[in-house]
Structure 1
Amino acid sequence: MSIKENINRIKLGLPGEVTLIAVSKTKGIDAIKEAYDAGIRDFGENKVQELMAKIEYLPSDIRWHLIGHLQRNKVKYIVDKVTLIHSLDSIRLLEEIERQYGIKNCIANTLIQINIGEEESKTGVSLQDFESLVSACELCRHVKVKGLMAIIPKGDEESCRKYFKKMKDIWDSLKERNYKNIEMKYLSMGMTEDYEIAVSEGSNMIRVGTGIFGVR
């Protein structure tokens, strides 16, 4: 199937409130343009260097999402360039985002990434450090938290549902609190293999790469 056919097939099965992010890491300009021509405006990149190399060759109305681990020394390059940083996972990173966005007097819209499976191989804030990070976000002037993100452990449907439910419970509990810098607008979870399960458990933002562009 073509990129356009893949996009149409995925969109047909999605509720209207779910944002589809096309994960374009390692994909060339032509493939991204094909997805753009098929109606996609939200694209996700893992690496700052790759993202910056693509931006100037693509339409200015694309909403870029930084979905990979963000190193502190790379924050300065993405100020005012990305719509949403999905991978806020530590107070040290938060402080650098606050500093760099403050220099240009911009607002960084972010998602807090939670390591919900407590996997050593994955980034994301641990559940025991989560509340400390939330409290630190409340003190910022240039960082706004717009929701949560997770990459769950690989597993069967039952396992997937368990982690997605756990994320939705955390998201719901935060939604009931009153914050000035934090709102639970987005719950970013679900990829090519499990996005349908994620959506059924409450995700309203999915990140699909292979399902759109084919095997890398």
Structure 2
Amino acid sequence: MTVANNLAQIQETIKKACSSSGRDPENVTIISVTKYVSLEKTKEAIEAGIHHIGENRLEGALEKWEAFQGQAGFHFIGSLQSKKVKHLVGKYDYYHSLDRLSLAKELQKRCPENQKLQCFVQVNVSGEASKAGLAPEETIDFIKQLKNYPAIQVIGLMTMAPFKEDPEDTRPVFRRLRHLRDKIRELRLEHAPCNELSMGMSNDFHVAVEEGATYIRLGSTLVGRE
């Protein structure tokens, strides 16, 4: 199957999920996670109509940006080490894993003057020790503290759900993140409009969309593995 064919099937699934939940498919953005595929496959994704590329390793992130800068928006997903920030700020458009003040400090330090960094705060909703992110009960206080870092704009929350054989089992994780997002949005914080939800991957994205995902991160189901 080509990326274009995969994308068509994914878009149909999104339409069905939106129909069942009263949403507009136009409000769901697909991020193509390309960490396991080549530059050629990434190019195929862009040519198929994908406008957002996601990476979580520095080497791959820089390689994809150098090859396709200006052709897509770039998202750094997964855990972001502070020492990597200097290589990515000014290149990547979105950061999906802000979960500590030391990282916020480094992002602030490296951000060009008068620019804003579009950040998602990562929340470990499931509580799994293997996953990064803040505990849900810590998240609001953390976001309030980010007011001290004017380069950072908290556009939303991100989570990684546990892998489940039945994707329906991930629904409580996505729903809890949405409820938390709604609480933060109600605070009307200038530095944290928090309108977005980055959640859902290849195995469970239809459930995430039903629960309000605005960005879904798709790898194998879209571009496969090489």
Same fold (TM over 0.5): yes
Match of 1:2?
A: 2
Match of 1:154?
A: 163
Is residue 11 of structure 2 the alignment partner of residue 11 of structure 1?
A: yes
Match of 2:223?
A: 213
Identity %: 32
Is residue 185 of structure 2 the alignment partner of residue 170 of structure 1?
A: no
**How far apart are 1:129 and its partner, in Å?**
2.7
Match of 2:123?
A: 114
SS at structure 2 position matched to 1:182 = coil
Which structure has greater helix proportion?
Answer: 2
**How far apart are 1:145 and its partner, in Å?**
0.5
SS at structure 2 position matched to 1:85 = strand
**How far apart are 1:54 and its partner, in Å?**
2.2
CA–CA distance in structure 2, aligned partners of residues 58 and 16 of structure 1: 24
CA–CA distance in structure 2, aligned partners of residues 54 and 146 of structure 1: 24
Alpha-carbon contact 2:170-2:204 (below 8 Å) kept? yes
Provide structure 2 residue ranges, at least 5 long, that are not aligned to the other structure: 15-24
Greater displacement, 104-113 / 20-29: 104-113
Aligned length: 215
28 and 131 in structure 1: CA distance in 2 versus 1, 3 angstrom threshold: same
- Which residue of 51, 67, 87 corresponds with 1:77? 87
TM-score (norm 2): 0.90
Alpha-carbon contact 1:80-1:106 (below 8 Å) kept? no
Is residue 169 of structure 2 the alignment partner of residue 135 of structure 1?
A: no
**How far apart are 1:127 and its partner, in Å?**
2.4
Provide structure 1 residue ranges, at least 5 long, that are not aligned to the other structure: none
Q: What letter corresponds to residue 141 of structure 1 in structure 2?
A: P
Is residue 24 of structure 2 the alignment partner of residue 24 of structure 1?
A: no
Q: What letter corresponds to residue 4 of structure 1 in structure 2?
A: A
RMSD: 1.4
TM-score (norm 1): 0.94
**How far apart are 1:105 and its partner, in Å?**
4.5
